[in-house]
Amino acid sequence: MIIAITIGILIAGGVYLVLQRGMVRIVFGMTLISHAVNLIILSAGVPAWRGQPFGSTAIEDAADPLPQAFVLTAIVITMAVTAFMLTLAALGTNDDTKRDKKRDGAVEDGAVPNNIVALTSDDVAVARDDVATASGGVATASDGDVKRGDEA
């Protein structure tokens, strides 16, 4: 029961940290989740008590080394991934909330950007006529209603 509670606390803490804004907290959250998974692997399918593999214990009652080998490998992989993510966090610029004005096409001082075309009312009327002609109706520029050819 204690292992199940420990796994739950580690998963809850890991999920909480992963949902935070800072990269270091996300890394620590992933580390907590990986430790919880290691505990799940160790506790899965193991009876309540296993004896030492040497001595007076029967071979059937000895601890299974395969889950321990999996967890040992997972610990090494987790350490490498954590080191890599911490390196990325240290090299990061923390500019994910800053706006890149050149990339976003933003302009300063209220000027119209080069890629935006200002439309006049004549341009809107021409576009409305083009839409009405394509749909088989007649459009009037004054009220914006589209009338079919037989209604006009």
Per-residue pLDDT of the chain (152 residues; tens, 9 = 90+): 888 999 999 999 999 999 998 888 999 999 999 999 999 988 886 666 666 666 666 666 666 778 888 999 999 999 999 999 999 888 887 666 666 666 666 556 555 556 556 667 777 777 777 766 666 655 555 555 555 555 55
| Rounded Cα distance, 33 and 11, in Å | 5
How far apart, in Å, do the first and last CA atoms of the chain sit? 81
Chain centroid offset of residue 111 CA: 36
Say which DSSP state 139 is in.
E
Tell me whether residue 5 is exposed, middle or buried, using C-beta atoms within 10 angstroms of its C-beta: 0 to 12, 13 to 18, 19 or more: exposed
Q: Tokens for 51?
A: 């004896």
CA nearest neighbour of 39 among 80, 4, 1? 4
Tell me whether residue 92 is exposed, middle or buried, using C-beta atoms within 10 angstroms of its C-beta: 0 to 12, 13 to 18, 19 or more: exposed
Measured CA to CA in angstroms, residue 77 lies from 56, 65, 86 at distances of: 35, 19, 14
